């Protein structure tokens, strides 16, 4: 059995490829909607977060021979949990991570290592800030930016009840919320930036499947400053960025 941490669109494609290659796969996701998407593709899926001890126990209970971590590039806690659980269970850990985007040649882009640094850049520059980093760190940005003199912070979030409740708790007005499900085209990004008079956009470097290129290019072409938060730097060990490389590594580990 391969224990497979999913959660992104390209992760589902990889899980299907592993199954079609003849490997038994159990996918693990955080939300019911993500699990349903996997099940529609004929994949077995479980739902819920696990701590290292819980994941280790599950790995042993299902007789996992390999852990493939294809969770989101910014799911740092999930990565650390998976690496610790695989080590404790005595099975190989393999990281799949979509290739990083290069911003070479693009002007007006500032790359930072932390969410806090991104918030500081926006605070210093002020203006109309379009926040496209999701709900997990919304409180951090709201505390530093929302309602500050000279700053309007607009946040784009998935249209989920917990996200709306968080916005209400943080005092974020409805007029400053874009509740939409992506992916977002170049044209739609520009329309949103134009509507809100955006002068600075904050995003994460999630790679092609995260549509960073459309957001960034749309902003740059409109003369909007962009702050990109770089991915967490973790010592994954075995890491690949294509389906073919993962299949080759799984084949090698499986036969070993």
* CATH 3.40.50.2000 domain position(s) in the chain: 2-99+234-255
Tokens of 152: 């309007």
Per-residue pLDDT tens digits for 168-180: 999 999 999 999 9
* CATH 3.40.50.720 domain position(s) in the chain: 109-229
Place of tokens 């600075």: 200
The confidence score (pLDDT) of residue 166 equals 96
Give me the helices (H) in the chain, please.
9-20, 32-40, 52-61, 76-89, 115-125, 138-145, 161-169, 186-196, 212-221, 243-255
Fold of 2-99+234-255: Rossmann fold (3.40.50)
Residues 154, 151: Cα–Cα separation, whole Å: 10
User: Which superfamily does CATH assign the domain made up of 109-229 to?
Assistant: NAD(P)-binding Rossmann-like Domain (3.40.50.720)
The confidence score (pLDDT) of residue 208 equals 55
Per-residue pLDDT tens digits for 191-201: 999 999 999 99
């Amino acid at each position: 059995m391969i224990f497979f941490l999913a959660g992104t669109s390209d992760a589902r494609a990889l899980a299907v490829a592993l199954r079609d290659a003849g490997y038994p796969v159990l996918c693990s996701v955080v939300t019911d909607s993500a699990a349903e998407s996997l099940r529609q593709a004929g994949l077995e899926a479980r739902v819920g977060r696990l701590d290292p001890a819980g994941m280790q126990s599950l790995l042993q209970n299902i007789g996992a021979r390999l852990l493939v971590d294809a969770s989101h590039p910014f799911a740092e806690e999930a990565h650390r949990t998976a690496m610790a659980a695989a080590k404790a269970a005595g099975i190989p850990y393999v990281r799949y991570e979509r290739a990083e985007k290069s911003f070479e040649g693009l002007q007006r882009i500032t790359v930072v290592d932390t969410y806090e640094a991104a918030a500081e850049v926006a605070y210093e520059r002020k203006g109309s800030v379009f926040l496209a980093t999701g709900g997990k760190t919304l409180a951090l940005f709201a505390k530093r930016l929302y309602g500050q003199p000279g700053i309007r912070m607009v946040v784009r979030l998935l249209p989920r009840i917990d996200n709306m409740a968080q916005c209400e708790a943080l005092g974020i007005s409805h007029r400053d919320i874009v509740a939409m499900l992506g992916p977002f085209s170049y044209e739609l990004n520009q329309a949103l930036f134009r509507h809100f008079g955006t002068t600075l956009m904050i995003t994460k470097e999630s790679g092609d499947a995260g549509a960073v290129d459309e957001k960034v290019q749309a902003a740059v072409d409109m003369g909007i400053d962009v702050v990109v938060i770089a991915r967490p730097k973790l010592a994954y060990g075995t890491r690949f960025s294509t389906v073919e490389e993962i299949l080759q590594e799984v084949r090698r580990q499986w036969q070993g």
